[in-house]
Structure 1
Amino acid sequence: MPKRKAAIAVGGVAALGAAALLLPNANASQDKNQASGTTGTVKTLKATQASNLAAQLQKSLGDAFAGSYFDSGKQQLVVNVVGGDNNTMAQAKKAGAVVRQVKNSTRALKAAAGTLKTKATIPGTSWAVDPRTDKILVTADSTVTGARWNRLQSTVQSLGSGMATLKKSAGTFKTFVSGGDAIFSQTQQGGVRCSLGFNVTASDGSPAFLTAGHCGVAAKDWSDSQNGQPIATVDQAKFPGNDFSLVKYNDPNTQAPSEVNAGNGQTVQITQAADATVGETVFRMGSTTGLHNGQVTGLDATVNFQSETNPGGTDTVNGLIQTNVCAEAGDSGGSLFTQDGSAVGLTSGGSGDCTNGGETFFQPVTAALQATGATLGNGGNGGNAGNGGNAGNGGADNNGNGAGDQSGSAAPSASAGDQSGAGDQSGGSADPSASAGDQSGNGSGDQSGNGAGTGNQSGNGAGAGDQSGSGNDQSGAGTANDGSSLTSSR
């Protein structure tokens, strides 16, 4: 039996020939707060090195450790210390970190987060620790009004001065499952589209990939083309609580390269999994909006999504990475990574879009790998299908603002634009179990869904797929990422 190459575009980046080209618009802003500490022993670090050093200091400093962040402008790790004596400060400085004394301990911040969980688990809210301010950042989306807003505001105030900040988001927190073109499934409610995160090897040695948990809960069998035959089956799916799925390729000989399709025929090799560090620059690849970048703004975030499977209920996800990278419907499950080829997260959900910006939350890859027993790298007997490895001729190549023009297919085996059902879409819901972004195609490309939707997508059989309108009010005009270069659009 001939070996089959994984016919799905993976969210990744090349080891950094391609990623270096992603950076012209990716300069992260420097922290304006001046951290104290001697400069003689401060080390210049890459983000991954900073993350490793932070983990070491967290263990060695114990209760004195109160969080850390990466100053990307100076390429230094800043460590918060509370109640530390001179020996503690000296220990952190000797290790190469900039040290600053802060008021709130990790224990106090966690206790405050616990109060928020008990008193303010309201759909449309989130909170995460921001070590740059030594506070909890609490965010409410546009649906949190009236009595709910008053309840949230009073809870934040009850935490005491200097413990938390509260802000409003213009958008609505939702999972980004609809409208993508990377991986497809059919349910009773219609079609579901998501984005593949990272290829992995399952604990039994079989080739598999990671994607969002709400995608795996929504559908069990996944294809690499619209209305195509399933090529992979969900093995594990966790949502809510967590948001990851392990999906095994049906053909054990599938060659699943550990790389991300960065668009325009270029890929980035994914060599390791890494924990996120606040302040570091990260890139997100998704099948709807392509490549975008931004910064990690918080860790251990809790997000309360409005549940569409349980009217009036809440789907709460914990332990997420908070960023200011944009995303839209269909980007769910897509990869979050660093320029050195480290896998960091899987797109979960958020608010806003890639025209106006917003917050996006990601399931940490390290937690997903630990829970599933999978490892990053090539699965199957074929090893790395290293043929230059474009895992999709145009799957990440989107013309238009977010929803815009999509040319090509995420599946190399289907060839660029070989999508018979990528046609007209109307409607779609952000709910993974209620046809979120769901399109029920009839083969001619005519599809209809229900709910807030991703607008219309008309295909011409060559994958030109003009999309206009979306649940985020995208007209499809203009060019967000046309794939002609690897410059990431923020």
Structure 2
Amino acid sequence: MRLRRARVSAGIAVLVALVAGFVSAPATAQAAPTAARTDGGEARLQQVARVLRSASVPGTAWYRVPGSDMVEVIADRTVTGVRLERIEAAIRSYSDVVRLRRVEGAIGVRLSGGDPVSGGGARCTLGANVTDGGAYYFITSGHCGSAVSTWYTLDGALVGSTVANSFPGNDYSVVRYTGSVPHEGTVGDQDITSAGNAYVGESVCMRGAVSGVRCGTVLALNATVNYPEGTVSGLIRTNICSEPGDSGAPLYDGTRLLGILSGGSGNCTSGGTSFFQPIIEILSAYGLAVY
């Protein structure tokens, strides 16, 4: 196997989890009052990050609000009873820098039936075709790769095998093409010529196998999401909706690939939010490139 794990560059450091979050639509609960910023600076915010990482309550996400010294914690409808008490206890001493927001729906990965690549009873979305210069691969979400070792098209043609997987912590899988299925370096009709990092305010689109092409805006970076299956950090938060089965879907800005879908909340009927694993981290970790 030609796939080699490359040294991640210093510019792609382990992401500190003061990070981007999301607001589900429609939101019926109001955010808790935001206290005025007092003191403590970065050291206090780093302390908040450590406390929230330690709490790690499923059904929550948290992020540093862009352009502020506040951290917002999101709690979905499953966070009740002991779970709610746990997160409230974790942030009680930090009311000057932390606010709690409740959202409808449940935070979850996008794994379900009805997608273009499948195997082992699971169906997901092919994210991006890549190469190491000799062999060809596609990238999808890690929670998909955890469930599937051999991939097929929906009509049963062999696509390839999962050769690398990272979930939780990260959320990506690398699948090597071993069948005869064609694999173009495009997202639908959109040619992809480069990969890059997203930025807040960027206009972006996602192409999901269930949702189709959906476009929106990057709202924040470096999100930490506590899925029931485990915590994933360093994600891109957008206001793009997604549906179960879109897992692994590519996020892009024109010809530039930015990430693959990890998970989200809501849906494409009432609205929602989605989180994406940055693509640069994946490519750098395994010495891969788009084509």
Bin of the TM-score, shorter chain as denominator length: 0.7 to 0.9
Conservation of the 8 A alpha-carbon contact between 2:157 and 2:181: no
> Is residue 2:55 matched to residue 1:146?
no
- Write the distance in 1 (CA, Å) between the matches of 2:70 and 2:159: 45
RMSD, aligned CA = 2.4
Matches within 5 A, 1:301-450: 301-307=223-229, 315-338=230-253, 340-377=254-291
2:212 to 290, 299, 312: 290
Kindly state the Cα deviation for residue 353 of structure 1 after the two structures are TM-superposed. 0.8
Q: Summarize the Cα distance change of 1:274–1:181 in structure 2 as closer, same or farther, 3 Å threshold.
A: same
Change in CA separation of 1:105 and 1:285 when aligned onto 2, cut-off 3 Å: farther
Distance change in 2, residues 1:255/1:179 (3 Å): closer
Q: 1:241 corresponds to which residue?
A: 169
**C-alpha deviation, 1:360, in angstroms:** 1.4
Deviation at 1:130, TM superposition (A): 2.3
* Maintained 8 Å contact 1:104/1:134: no
2:196 partner letter: A
The percent identity for this pair of structures is 39
SS in 1 for 2:231: strand
**1:205-220 paired onto structure 2 within 5 Å:** 205-220=134-149
2:107 equivalent to 1:170: no
Residue aligned with 1:297, SS: strand
* Structure 1 unpaired stretches of 5+: 1-54, 56-65, 68-101, 262-266, 308-314, 378-490
Check whether the contact 2:57–2:86 (CA below 8 A) recurs between aligned residues: no
Of 267, 278, 281, 2:200 maps to 278
Ranked by relative contact order (alpha carbons within 8 Å, sequence separation 6 or more), the top structure is 2
CA contact (8 A) 1:138 1:164 kept: yes
Q: Which moved more, 1:141-150 or 1:205-214?
A: 141-150
Partner of 1:20: none
Deviation digits for residues 264-287 of structure 1, max 9, x if unmatched? xxx111121111212222211100
TM-score for the superposition, normalised by structure 1: 0.50
- State how far apart, in whole Å, the 2-side matches of 1:105 and 1:367 are: 29
- Give yes or no for the alignment of 1:260 onto 2:198: no
The two structures have a TM-score, normalised by structure 2, of 0.81
Show the 5 A alignment for 1:24-43: none
Within 5 Å, give how 1:172-211 maps onto structure 2.
172-185=106-119, 187=120, 191-202=121-132, 205-211=134-140
Name stretches of at least 5 consecutive residues in structure 2 with no aligned partner: 1-10, 12-17, 20-37
Which deviations, in whole Å up to 9, do the C-alpha atoms of 1:298-354 show, x marking residues without a partner? 2221111113xxxxxxx111111122211111100000111x321111111121111
CA distance in 1, matches of 2:272, 2:44: 28
Shift of 1:218: 0.4
- Give the conservation status (yes or no) of the 8 Å contact 1:217–1:239: yes
* Maintained 8 Å contact 1:179/1:288: no
Partner SS, residue 332 of structure 1: coil
Aligned partners of 1:324, 1:104: CA distance in 2, in Å? Answer: 31
| 1:206–1:104 CA distance, 2 compared to 1 (3 A) | farther
Does structure 1 retain, via aligned residues, the 8 Å contact 2:197–2:280? yes
**Per-residue Cα deviation, 1:33-53 (whole angstroms, up to 9, x for no partner):** xxxxxxxxxxxxxxxxxxxxx
